[in-house]
Protein backbone atom coordinates (compact mmCIF):
# COMPACT_ATOMS: atom_id res chain seq x y z
CA UNK A 1 0.00 0.00 0.00
CA UNK A 2 1.71 3.17 -1.20
CA UNK A 3 1.27 6.18 -3.42
CA UNK A 4 4.24 8.44 -4.38
CA UNK A 5 7.73 7.92 -5.79
CA UNK A 6 9.00 7.21 -2.26
CA UNK A 7 7.09 3.91 -2.26
CA UNK A 8 8.60 2.57 -5.50
CA UNK A 9 11.93 1.07 -4.30
CA UNK A 10 10.09 -0.89 -1.61
CA UNK A 11 7.44 -2.04 -4.08
CA UNK A 12 10.09 -3.06 -6.62
CA UNK A 13 11.97 -5.05 -3.97
CA UNK A 14 8.79 -6.89 -2.94
CA UNK A 15 7.84 -7.52 -6.58
CA UNK A 16 11.25 -9.08 -7.30
CA UNK A 17 11.73 -11.13 -4.13
CA UNK A 18 8.34 -12.13 -2.72
CA UNK A 19 4.86 -13.26 -3.67
CA UNK A 20 3.15 -9.93 -4.25
CA UNK A 21 -0.59 -10.65 -4.02
CA UNK A 22 -2.07 -7.20 -4.61
CA UNK A 23 -1.33 -3.45 -4.52
CA UNK A 24 -3.31 -0.54 -3.11
CA UNK A 25 -2.75 3.11 -3.98
CA UNK A 26 -4.71 6.36 -3.86
CA UNK A 27 -7.32 7.02 -6.56
CA UNK A 28 -6.23 8.61 -9.85
CA UNK A 29 -7.07 12.31 -9.88
CA UNK A 30 -7.10 15.26 -12.31
CA UNK A 31 -3.90 17.30 -12.24
CA UNK A 32 -2.11 20.08 -14.11
CA UNK A 33 -3.58 22.89 -16.16
CA UNK A 34 -5.57 20.55 -18.40
CA UNK A 35 -6.90 18.62 -15.38
CA UNK A 36 -5.98 15.37 -17.12
CA UNK A 37 -6.51 12.25 -15.00
CA UNK A 38 -3.16 11.29 -13.50
CA UNK A 39 -2.27 7.92 -11.95
CA UNK A 40 -0.05 7.66 -8.89
CA UNK A 41 3.54 6.44 -9.41
CA UNK A 42 2.57 3.17 -7.70
CA UNK A 43 -0.37 2.61 -10.07
CA UNK A 44 1.83 3.35 -13.09
CA UNK A 45 4.31 0.72 -11.83
CA UNK A 46 1.48 -1.79 -11.37
CA UNK A 47 0.14 -1.18 -14.89
CA UNK A 48 3.64 -1.62 -16.35
CA UNK A 49 4.26 -4.87 -14.44
CA UNK A 50 0.69 -6.18 -14.76
CA UNK A 51 0.13 -6.23 -10.98
CA UNK A 52 -3.40 -6.26 -9.56
CA UNK A 53 -4.09 -2.84 -8.05
CA UNK A 54 -7.02 -1.28 -6.15
CA UNK A 55 -7.69 2.41 -5.50
CA UNK A 56 -10.33 2.76 -2.76
CA UNK A 57 -10.96 6.19 -1.23
CA UNK A 58 -10.86 4.54 2.22
CA UNK A 59 -11.67 1.25 3.98
CA UNK A 60 -15.01 2.22 5.52
CA UNK A 61 -17.03 -0.01 3.21
CA UNK A 62 -17.42 -3.59 4.34
CA UNK A 63 -16.81 -4.95 0.83
CA UNK A 64 -13.26 -3.49 0.85
CA UNK A 65 -12.50 -5.34 4.09
CA UNK A 66 -14.00 -8.55 2.70
CA UNK A 67 -11.93 -8.23 -0.48
CA UNK A 68 -8.75 -7.79 1.55
CA UNK A 69 -9.67 -10.69 3.79
CA UNK A 70 -10.06 -13.04 0.82
CA UNK A 71 -6.48 -12.35 -0.32
CA UNK A 72 -5.22 -14.31 2.70
CA UNK A 73 -1.99 -12.27 2.80
CA UNK A 74 0.75 -12.84 5.38
CA UNK A 75 1.71 -9.18 5.72
CA UNK A 76 0.79 -5.72 4.45
CA UNK A 77 3.65 -3.32 3.65
CA UNK A 78 2.81 0.39 3.75
CA UNK A 79 4.94 3.21 2.33
CA UNK A 80 3.55 6.77 2.21
CA UNK A 81 0.07 5.50 1.35
CA UNK A 82 -1.69 8.65 2.56
CA UNK A 83 -4.85 6.82 3.69
CA UNK A 84 -5.41 5.98 7.35
CA UNK A 85 -5.77 2.25 7.93
CA UNK A 86 -8.37 1.29 10.55
CA UNK A 87 -7.73 -1.46 13.11
CA UNK A 88 -9.88 -3.84 11.03
CA UNK A 89 -7.34 -3.62 8.18
CA UNK A 90 -4.26 -3.86 10.42
CA UNK A 91 -5.64 -7.05 11.97
CA UNK A 92 -6.31 -8.89 8.69
CA UNK A 93 -2.80 -10.15 7.76
CA UNK A 94 -1.23 -12.99 9.75
CA UNK A 95 1.81 -10.85 10.69
CA UNK A 96 0.08 -7.48 10.69
CA UNK A 97 1.09 -4.38 8.75
CA UNK A 98 4.65 -3.05 8.42
CA UNK A 99 5.45 0.57 7.59
CA UNK A 100 8.47 2.10 5.80
CA UNK A 101 8.83 5.48 7.56
CA UNK A 102 11.28 8.23 6.55
CA UNK A 103 12.67 9.16 9.98
CA UNK A 104 14.48 7.71 12.97
CA UNK A 105 11.41 7.02 15.07
CA UNK A 106 10.29 8.10 17.62
CA UNK A 107 11.53 11.38 16.07
CA UNK A 108 9.33 12.98 13.41
CA UNK A 109 6.22 10.87 13.41
CA UNK A 110 3.68 12.05 10.85
CA UNK A 111 3.25 13.47 7.37
CA UNK A 112 6.43 15.47 6.62
CA UNK A 113 9.40 13.84 8.38
CA UNK A 114 12.05 14.72 5.77
CA UNK A 115 11.03 18.37 5.54
CA UNK A 116 10.77 18.81 9.32
CA UNK A 117 14.18 17.24 9.87
CA UNK A 118 15.76 19.70 7.43
CA UNK A 119 13.88 22.69 8.85
CA UNK A 120 15.09 21.76 12.34
CA UNK A 121 18.71 21.53 11.18
CA UNK A 122 19.01 17.84 12.12
CA UNK A 123 22.39 16.28 11.34
CA UNK A 124 20.96 12.83 10.67
CA UNK A 125 17.78 11.06 9.64
CA UNK A 126 17.01 7.57 8.37
CA UNK A 127 14.50 4.83 7.68
CA UNK A 128 12.49 2.95 10.26
CA UNK A 129 10.70 -0.29 9.47
CA UNK A 130 7.96 -0.52 12.09
CA UNK A 131 5.00 -2.65 13.06
CA UNK A 132 1.86 -0.59 12.54
CA UNK A 133 -0.78 0.09 15.18
CA UNK A 134 -3.70 2.51 15.36
CA UNK A 135 -1.73 5.38 16.92
CA UNK A 136 0.28 7.40 14.40
CA UNK A 137 3.77 5.96 13.74
CA UNK A 138 4.02 4.64 17.30
CA UNK A 139 4.42 0.90 16.69
CA UNK A 140 7.40 -1.25 17.57
CA UNK A 141 10.64 -0.76 15.61
CA UNK A 142 11.73 -3.75 13.50
CA UNK A 143 14.76 -2.24 11.70
CA UNK A 144 16.36 1.19 11.58
CA UNK A 145 19.26 2.71 9.68
CA UNK A 146 20.50 6.31 9.66
CA UNK A 147 22.08 8.61 7.08
CA UNK A 148 23.79 11.96 7.57
CA UNK A 149 22.26 15.27 6.53
CA UNK A 150 24.64 17.97 5.31
CA UNK A 151 23.82 21.67 5.02
CA UNK A 152 23.97 21.24 1.21
CA UNK A 153 21.30 18.54 1.06
CA UNK A 154 17.85 19.35 -0.33
CA UNK A 155 14.68 17.51 0.68
CA UNK A 156 14.63 15.81 -2.74
CA UNK A 157 18.16 14.45 -2.28
CA UNK A 158 17.33 13.08 1.18
CA UNK A 159 14.02 11.69 -0.15
CA UNK A 160 15.81 9.77 -2.91
CA UNK A 161 18.42 8.31 -0.53
CA UNK A 162 15.77 7.26 1.99
CA UNK A 163 13.52 5.73 -0.66
CA UNK A 164 16.35 3.44 -1.79
CA UNK A 165 17.30 2.65 1.80
CA UNK A 166 13.65 1.81 2.52
CA UNK A 167 13.68 -0.69 -0.36
CA UNK A 168 16.76 -2.40 1.10
CA UNK A 169 15.47 -2.51 4.66
CA UNK A 170 12.00 -3.82 3.82
CA UNK A 171 13.65 -6.60 1.83
CA UNK A 172 15.78 -7.48 4.91
CA UNK A 173 12.76 -7.39 7.23
CA UNK A 174 10.64 -9.62 4.98
CA UNK A 175 13.50 -12.10 4.44
CA UNK A 176 13.84 -12.37 8.22
CA UNK A 177 10.08 -12.93 8.54
CA UNK A 178 10.21 -15.58 5.81
CA UNK A 179 13.01 -17.44 7.61
CA UNK A 180 11.79 -17.27 11.20
CA UNK A 181 7.99 -16.91 10.80
CA UNK A 182 8.00 -14.11 13.38
CA UNK A 183 8.91 -10.46 13.65
CA UNK A 184 11.40 -9.24 16.25
CA UNK A 185 10.84 -5.66 17.37
CA UNK A 186 11.47 -3.17 20.17
CA UNK A 187 9.11 -0.53 21.52
CA UNK A 188 9.61 3.19 20.91
CA UNK A 189 10.58 5.63 23.65
CA UNK A 190 7.40 7.73 23.95
CA UNK A 191 9.22 10.45 25.90
CA UNK A 192 11.36 11.25 22.85
CA UNK A 193 8.51 11.38 20.33
CA UNK A 194 8.32 14.44 18.06
CA UNK A 195 5.77 15.16 15.32
CA UNK A 196 6.21 16.18 11.69
CA UNK A 197 3.12 18.20 10.89
CA UNK A 198 2.02 18.57 7.29
CA UNK A 199 3.67 21.59 5.62
CA UNK A 200 1.26 24.54 5.51
CA UNK A 201 1.28 26.80 2.41
CA UNK A 202 2.05 29.89 4.49
CA UNK A 203 5.30 28.29 5.71
CA UNK A 204 6.80 28.54 2.23
CA UNK A 205 6.80 32.38 2.09
CA UNK A 206 10.25 33.73 2.96
CA UNK A 207 10.54 35.99 6.01
CA UNK A 208 13.61 38.07 5.17
CA UNK A 209 14.05 39.04 8.83
CA UNK A 210 15.15 35.48 9.61
CA UNK A 211 18.82 34.53 9.56
CA UNK A 212 20.44 33.19 6.42
CA UNK A 213 20.72 29.66 7.84
CA UNK A 214 17.00 29.57 8.73
CA UNK A 215 15.99 30.76 5.26
CA UNK A 216 18.42 28.36 3.57
CA UNK A 217 17.01 25.43 5.53
CA UNK A 218 13.52 26.47 4.48
CA UNK A 219 14.55 26.71 0.82
CA UNK A 220 16.17 23.28 0.87
CA UNK A 221 13.34 21.66 2.84
CA UNK A 222 10.16 23.07 1.30
CA UNK A 223 11.18 25.82 -1.13
CA UNK A 224 10.71 29.50 -0.47
CA UNK A 225 8.95 32.27 -2.37
CA UNK A 226 8.76 36.05 -2.35
CA UNK A 227 7.40 38.84 -4.52
CA UNK A 228 9.27 41.41 -6.56
CA UNK A 229 6.60 43.88 -7.64
CA UNK A 230 3.82 41.69 -9.02
CA UNK A 231 6.16 38.83 -9.89
CA UNK A 232 6.12 35.81 -7.59
CA UNK A 233 9.52 34.10 -7.52
CA UNK A 234 10.39 30.76 -5.94
CA UNK A 235 13.89 29.76 -4.81
CA UNK A 236 14.79 26.05 -4.86
CA UNK A 237 18.46 26.28 -3.94
CA UNK A 238 20.81 28.98 -2.69
CA UNK A 239 23.96 29.83 -0.73
CA UNK A 240 24.57 32.21 2.16
CA UNK A 241 27.10 35.04 2.35
CA UNK A 242 27.95 37.56 5.08
CA UNK A 243 27.33 41.25 4.48
CA UNK A 244 27.71 44.49 6.39
CA UNK A 245 24.68 45.74 8.26
CA UNK A 246 21.77 46.27 5.83
CA UNK A 247 17.99 46.29 5.98
CA UNK A 248 16.37 42.91 5.35
CA UNK A 249 14.78 42.03 2.02
CA UNK A 250 16.91 44.26 -0.23
CA UNK A 251 18.52 43.21 -3.53
CA UNK A 252 22.15 44.07 -2.84
CA UNK A 253 24.04 43.25 -6.06
CA UNK A 254 23.81 42.38 -9.75
CA UNK A 255 23.78 38.66 -8.86
CA UNK A 256 20.32 39.05 -7.28
CA UNK A 257 21.60 38.46 -3.74
CA UNK A 258 19.04 39.46 -1.11
CA UNK A 259 19.80 40.69 2.40
CA UNK A 260 18.24 38.99 5.41
CA UNK A 261 18.67 38.86 9.19
CA UNK A 262 21.91 38.28 11.13
CA UNK A 263 23.97 40.27 8.58
CA UNK A 264 23.47 37.51 6.03
CA UNK A 265 22.48 37.45 2.37
CA UNK A 266 20.81 34.73 0.35
CA UNK A 267 22.49 34.07 -3.01
CA UNK A 268 19.93 32.22 -5.16
CA UNK A 269 21.17 29.34 -7.34
CA UNK A 270 17.93 27.89 -8.77
CA UNK A 271 14.76 29.97 -9.22
CA UNK A 272 11.40 29.92 -10.93
CA UNK A 273 9.02 32.71 -11.96
CA UNK A 274 5.26 32.17 -11.78
CA UNK A 275 4.20 29.89 -14.62
CA UNK A 276 7.81 29.41 -15.70
CA UNK A 277 10.36 26.63 -15.44
CA UNK A 278 13.21 26.19 -12.96
CA UNK A 279 16.39 27.98 -14.06
CA UNK A 280 19.87 28.42 -12.70
CA UNK A 281 20.70 31.98 -11.66
CA UNK A 282 22.60 32.84 -14.87
CA UNK A 283 19.74 31.78 -17.14
CA UNK A 284 17.20 33.44 -14.82
CA UNK A 285 18.94 36.81 -14.92
CA UNK A 286 19.08 36.98 -18.72
CA UNK A 287 16.50 39.60 -19.66
CA UNK A 288 15.18 39.86 -16.09
CA UNK A 289 14.94 43.46 -14.95
CA UNK A 290 15.53 44.54 -11.35
CA UNK A 291 17.33 47.31 -9.52
CA UNK A 292 19.99 47.11 -6.84
CA UNK A 293 18.52 48.33 -3.49
CA UNK A 294 15.04 47.31 -4.69
CA UNK A 295 12.85 45.87 -1.91
CA UNK A 296 11.35 42.38 -2.12
CA UNK A 297 8.48 41.09 -0.02
β-pair type (224-228, 231-242): antiparallel
Question: Is residue 188 a part of any domain in this protein?
Answer: yes
Integer Cα distance of 238 and 269 in angstroms:
5
The pTM is what? 0.93
Q: Could you tell me the residue range of the domain that residue 35 belongs to?
A: 5-196
Residue 247 maps to which CATH number? 3.10.25.10
Same domain, residue pair 170 and 215: no
Same domain, residue pair 178 and 265: no
Examine the fold and report which residue of 196, 223, 254 is the final residue of a domain before the chain moves on: 196
Same domain, residue pair 210 and 248: yes
Question: Is residue 258 a part of any domain in this protein?
Answer: yes
pLDDT tens by residue, 73-82: 999 999 999 9
For Cα atoms 105, 135, 104, give the angle at the middle one, nearest 5 degrees.
5
Question: Is residue 179 a part of any domain in this protein?
Answer: yes
How many structural domains is the chain composed of? 2
Q: What is the 3-state secondary structure (H, E, C) of 40-51?
A: CHHHHHHHHHCC
Same domain, residue pair 127 and 254: no
Same domain, residue pair 142 and 68: yes
What confidence tier does 31 reach under pLDDT thresholds 50, 70, 90?
confident
| φ and ψ at residue 279, rounded to 5 degrees | -140, 150
Examine the fold and report which residue of 196, 225, 259 is the final residue of a domain before the chain moves on: 196
For Cα atoms 136, 119, 185, give the angle at the middle one, nearest 5 degrees.
35
Question: Is residue 77 a part of any domain in this protein?
Answer: yes
Quick one: pLDDT at residue 246?
A: 85
Same domain, residue pair 210 and 151: no
Question: Is residue 267 a part of any domain in this protein?
Answer: yes
Same domain, residue pair 160 and 223: no
Same domain, residue pair 180 and 213: no
Same domain, residue pair 51 and 156: yes
Quick one: pLDDT at residue 284?
A: 95
pLDDT tens by residue, 7-20: 999 999 999 999 99
pLDDT tens by residue, 181-199: 999 999 999 999 999 999 9
Residue 161 maps to which CATH number? 3.40.50.170
270-276, long-range: CB < 8 A, 24+ apart: 270/235, 270/236, 270/237, 270/238, 271/233, 271/234, 271/235, 271/236, 272/233, 272/234, 272/236, 273/231, 273/232, 273/233, 274/231, 274/232, 274/233
Is residue 220 within 8 A of residue 133, CB to CB? The reply is: no
Integer Cα distance of 131 and 142 in angstroms:
7
Question: Is residue 93 a part of any domain in this protein?
Answer: yes
β-pair type (124-131, 141-148): antiparallel
Same domain, residue pair 40 and 164: yes
Same domain, residue pair 189 and 210: no
Question: Is residue 217 a part of any domain in this protein?
Answer: yes
Question: Is residue 187 a part of any domain in this protein?
Answer: yes
Same domain, residue pair 128 and 252: no
pLDDT tens by residue, 159-176: 999 999 999 999 999 999
pLDDT tens by residue, 47-100: 999 999 999 999 998 999 999 999 999 999 999 999 999 999 999 999 999 999
Average pLDDT over residues 95-117: 98
Integer Cα distance of 283 and 215 in angstroms:
23
pLDDT tens by residue, 219-272: 999 999 999 999 999 999 999 999 988 899 999 999 999 999 999 999 999 999
Amino acid sequence: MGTPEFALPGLESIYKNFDLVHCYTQPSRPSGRGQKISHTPVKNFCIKKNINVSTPVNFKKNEELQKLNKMNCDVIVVAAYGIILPKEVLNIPKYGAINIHASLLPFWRGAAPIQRALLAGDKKTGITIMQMEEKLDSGNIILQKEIEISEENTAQEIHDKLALLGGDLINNALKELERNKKIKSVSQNEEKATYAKKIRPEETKIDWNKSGIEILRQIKAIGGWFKLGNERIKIFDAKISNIENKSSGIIIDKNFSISCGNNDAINPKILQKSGGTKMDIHEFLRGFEFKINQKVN
